[in-house]
Amino acid sequence: MIRLLARVHRWLGVPMALLVFVWFVSGIVMALGGGFPEVTERDRLERGGPLPSLPEATAAEAFPAGVEATGSVRIVPRLGKPIWEIESARGIVQYDVASGVRLLPGTLSDTEARALARQWLGTEPETAVTVHAPDTWTPRAEAQGWLPMLRATAHDGAEVYVSLAKGRIVQHSTSRARVMAWFGAIPHWIYFVQVRRHAVFWKWLVIALSTLGACAAFSGIAVGIARAFRHWARHGQFGPFRKTAFAWHHGAGLTVGALVFTWLVSGALSLDPFALDAHGTVRAEERERARGGRFEPRAFTRSVRQAADACAPHLVVRSLELVQIVGEPFYVCRESPVRAMVLSASHEDAPLARLPAPWLDREVSALTGGEPSRVTELEAPDAYYYPTHFYPDMTFPVLKIESGAVVHYVDETTGRILRRHDGTSRTYRWLYHGFHSFDLPSLLAHPRIWYALILVLSLVGALVAATATWLAMARVRRFTSRR
């Protein structure tokens, strides 16, 4: 059996060793900030600028006729004008707030696209070209309906992509972010555009490669332990290899072999190969229960200008969201992902930092269908709702609502369901985030220790893969010379 595992380990090492080495090195770069560039909610709020002057009309009067909102509804700025951004069954639709005219897909002119790019870059673009195909930084552009796009680049290397079809910024990056991504996220996630543009093929390619790597690691651990104990029984010492590369590979493999195995397995699990909804997606019916049925624009009888003006002394209003909590309308003035105020959309009440308690209680009852087993107010992260090194923006305080095996986290300002966990997603949280990125509460509270641990273990893992690569090359040379 050990001989069979040894052969499996040797020959799987030939195609996998170099790839696993690249994964370890790129993982270090990602921990240092080498993620894939993306447009975050913070970017949209900060770079979009403050909300311009709104009409005196109520949302009930200004809301576009015939549009049924299935998700978020908000007023945001675009080139000095307020526009509706409404999530509907047809995707995100946009309307001019003042005129009520729909901004049709593909109607963004080249001049407007350049103006949007200039606003985001903070300077006049040095170059601006229209692209009609996905590239490295927009590999899913075709599937997401972004094409065609205007790619604008500033003199300092900052770059934005403006979707002419969607009428919005869809990608933003700096020179440093792109360089870091080439050494981090792109090789780590196999994010090359030729592969990533085919989502299903890319998913199963990553799962297959991770699984093969895990098999190589498992067989190596079994063979290494067996040979070490056999050598101890015969000679009274561990270390059956005299050649330097073999000795280093054996020693490093026994040191972190189990960690290499769990990293590779958890990497495969990140793509949910068994379709278990392991990410804990919030259900559409849950959002509808919290909303109290269909979104009713007629309930928003307070002037949108009055709502924005009421919030203005307390924060910079960058978007005005319309939320419905168990049938009751509210406006949410937002400055950043973590800074917002809420006020009634049907009464002349002052803005508040949190939704009134009676409405939060009603939402809790609506979500749980009765009495929840436990409701806790969180002022700080817990094991399932926490900021990460890549996504630091988290809203607090939140309500943690436990009802049987299901846990919901609800924003106390907006009433929005931020996260949902059941037994499957909680298990997944530890199998993936726990093993793969060491998202453990004790480590997340001490970022320097987390970085040091990731760096040291990744370097030892890279040593295992580097010596394996050297041995695999030697094995291929011997095999080809015999042939």
Confidence of residue 261 (pLDDT cuts 50, 70, 90): very high
Say if residue 323 is in the same domain as residue 295: yes
Say if residue 162 is in the same domain as residue 233: no
pLDDT reading at 466 higher than 80: yes
Residue 467 lies in a domain: no
Last residue of a domain, one of 431, 456, 478: 431
For residue 214, what are the domain limits? 2-33+190-268
Query: What does the block give as tokens for 40?
Result: 């975050």
Residue 439 lies in a domain: no
Last residue of a domain, one of 235, 268, 301: 268
Residue 468 lies in a domain: no
Say if residue 105 is in the same domain as residue 166: yes
Cβ atoms 429, 384 nearer than 8 A? yes
Neighbours of 443 (CB within 10 A): 15
Residue 122 lies in a domain: yes
Residue 167 lies in a domain: yes
Between residues 265 and 279, which one has the greater pLDDT?
Answer: 265
Say if residue 333 is in the same domain as residue 349: yes
Say if residue 298 is in the same domain as residue 422: yes
Say if residue 427 is in the same domain as residue 304: yes
Residue 77 lies in a domain: yes
Confidence of residue 84 (pLDDT cuts 50, 70, 90): very high
Number of domains into which the chain is organized: 3
- For 404: left if phi > 0, alpha if psi spans -120 to 50, otherwise beta; the answer is left
Residue 447 lies in a domain: no
Say if residue 202 is in the same domain as residue 124: no
Last residue of a domain, one of 166, 183, 200: 183
Say if residue 292 is in the same domain as residue 309: yes
pLDDT, tens only, 243-256? 677 777 877 777 88
Say if residue 238 is in the same domain as residue 348: no
Q: Coil, strand or helix: which one is 7?
A: helix
Tell me the C-alpha distance between 419 and 426, whole Å.
Answer: 12
pLDDT (average), residues 453-472: 89
Say if residue 69 is in the same domain as residue 169: yes
Which helix (H) or strand (E) segment holds residue 378: the answer is: strand 374-378
- For 334: left if phi > 0, alpha if psi spans -120 to 50, otherwise beta; the answer is beta
Say if residue 106 is in the same domain as residue 228: no
Tell me the C-alpha distance between 367 and 409, whole Å.
Answer: 11
Give the strand pairing for 168-173 and 319-325.
Answer: unpaired
Say if residue 116 is in the same domain as residue 18: no
Distance of CA 47 to the CA centre of its chain: 20
Alpha-carbon torsion 36, 40, 43, 49, what sign? positive
Compute the mean pLDDT over every residue in the chain, rounded to the nearest whole number.
Answer: 89
pLDDT, tens only, 311-336? 999 999 999 999 999 999 999 999 99
Tell me the C-alpha distance between 437 and 389, whole Å.
Answer: 10
pLDDT, tens only, 93-124? 999 998 888 888 777 888 999 999 999 999 99
Tell me what pLDDT residue 388 has: 79
pLDDT (average), residues 355-365: 91
